[in-house]
Homo-oligomer: A and B are copies of this chain.
Amino acid sequence: MSKDPELVNDEVHLTTQVVNHIRTLIENGSLRAGDKIPPEREFAKDLKISRASLRAGIGYLAAMGVLNVRHGVGTFVADGPPVVSKSSLSLMGVLHGFKPWQLFEARLILEGSLAALAAERGKEEHHSALAEEVAEMYATVSDPHEYLIHDVRFHRTIAEASGNPILASLMETITGTLYDERRKTVERSRDLKQSAEMHREIYRAIRAKKAVEARDAMERHLRMAETAQVNERAMMSSKRAQQKPRRSKMAEAAKA
């Protein structure tokens, strides 16, 4: 009990101060989603700090997904669906040895609950949006790439309909990790017809406000999706040879 310097975590780093400053600007409404923040040079001058320190703070917020930096254009407050740092999970994954099945299990639990909540709270607008996406899925069963887009939108709409943006954002984090890989293997997808069928079941359960059924349907769908993706991955890895060489400024970095 001799030391307890954690209680008063005063803003020691300038980085932290920048973060909190911008956070405050967002809290009091000075900055809203989509807004552009001042140019770095100017902003740094206003804040009476160096551009380097400001950039550290911006970098932090960008890593968190709160800011969106576009080279040559400007830095913007993130809009769109809330995502808790997209690549965060994959980084954590390599560090703690996450297994793919754990990813799927997490998704199963989250989306299952999301579907149940959506069934309880979904409004008309959500129902029609879901119906729209289901229709699009049926219409694109022969175009895997296009299908995937509507697939993602369907799930995202359910997340929105759940009325809990926090859970939605967690789901976005999980699925985002799976998405990159999926985009590469989607070419080999089959049974999209069956997939569309299952989405329709989910939709019907949600529209009927039957939470339990919605959860069950979602879980059935995801279990099948898992199997499918594992198969796709297996097919992929059986023929991979060329690795496009990339000339990176630090290509020959030592192996420590």
Contact = CB atoms under 8 A, between A and B. Distances in A.
A253 B92 contact: no
A116 B74 CA distance: 47
Given A59-B56, A105-B167, A66 B89 contact: no
Interface residues of A, number: 75
Interface in A41-59: 46-49, 52, 55-56, 59
A253 B102 contact: no
Nearest to A83: B92
Contact of A95 (B14, B46, B77): B77
Nearest to A183: B7
A239 interface: no
Given A17-B248, A165-B102, A66 B46 contact: no
A228 interface: no
A254 interface: yes
Contacts of A105: 164, 166-167
Interface stretch (A22-30, A132-140, A219-227): A22-30
A169 interface: yes
Given A55-B56, A88-B64, A246-B8, A82 B106 contact: no
Given A63-B64, A85-B88, A47 B253 contact: yes
Interface in A71-119: 77-78, 82, 84-85, 87-89, 91-98, 102-103, 105-106, 109-110, 113
A25 B249 contact: no
B109 A87 contact: no
A64 to B, nearest CB: 5
A63 to B, nearest CB: 4
Interface of A: 7-8, 10-11, 14-15, 17-19, 21, 23, 25-28, 30-31, 33, 38, 46-49, 52, 55-56, 59-66, 77-78, 82, 84-85, 87-89, 91-98, 102-103, 105-106, 109-110, 113, 164-167, 169-170, 173-174, 183, 244, 246, 248-250, 253-256
6 contacts: A11-B246, A30-B256, A59-B60, A59-B63, A64-B88, A102-B164
